[in-house]
Amino acid sequence: MTDDRPQPWQVVATRTIVADRWISLRADDCEDAEGRRIAPYYVLEPGDWISVLALDGRGDAIVVEEYRHGAGIVALGTIGGAVEPDESPIDAAHRELREETGFTASDVIDLGPTWANFGNHTNQVHHFLALDCVRAGEQSLDDTERITVRTMPVSSLGEHLTQSYHQLTWYKATHHLARRHA
């Protein structure tokens, strides 16, 4: 019996195209199990991200609205950002919640990670549910951030989210809540 499962490619050469504080992009020259050459194959190496669905004491979602330059749109989304070096994903979730919204949570539940885009990204998105959030102060935004904080019913939030991993965070959180209340 032959093993017909896909096999990892072999990297025969790699070079860095760009590397700065935001991202690293490399070009790999690869060879597959049949000896075919795949070159260049570009791989983005950003740090891990977090995505937080935050709920206030009434169970309404606390979401952020901001300009997203890649798509050129203003979009509604979950709270999120990069996990800093030497920071755990759950610490990043608490930090981003506080920075982007001014809220803190009584409990933050880890809903598990998923790959951002395993076709050409090396990072994961860590999904969280933040419960019983209360305003603890003002936003603490970066110089280039302009974020509006909104609340809305969590039940209808999914249809307003246009980023795939924001939708996944919403799905994972509502699934967790439904099991918890069953």
d(CA 50, CA 113): 9
Write out pLDDT tens, residues 82-132.
Answer: 999 999 999 999 999 999 999 999 999 999 999 999 999 999 999 999 999
Residue 1 above 80 pLDDT? Answer: no
What pLDDT is stored for residue 2 in this prediction? Answer: 67
pTM for the whole structure: 0.94
Write out pLDDT tens, residues 21-62.
Answer: 878 999 999 999 999 999 999 999 999 999 999 999 999 999
56-77 average pLDDT score: 97
What are the DSSP E strand ranges found in the chain? 10-19, 24-31, 37-44, 49-56, 60-68, 73-77, 79-82, 103-104, 107-115, 124-135, 148-153
Q: In the structure, what pLDDT confidence band is assigned to residue 18 with cuts at 50, 70 and 90?
A: very high
Write out pLDDT tens, residues 166-181.
Answer: 999 999 999 999 998 8
d(CA 41, CA 75): 31
Residue 73 above 80 pLDDT? Answer: yes
- H helix or E strand, kind and range, residue 93: helix 89-101
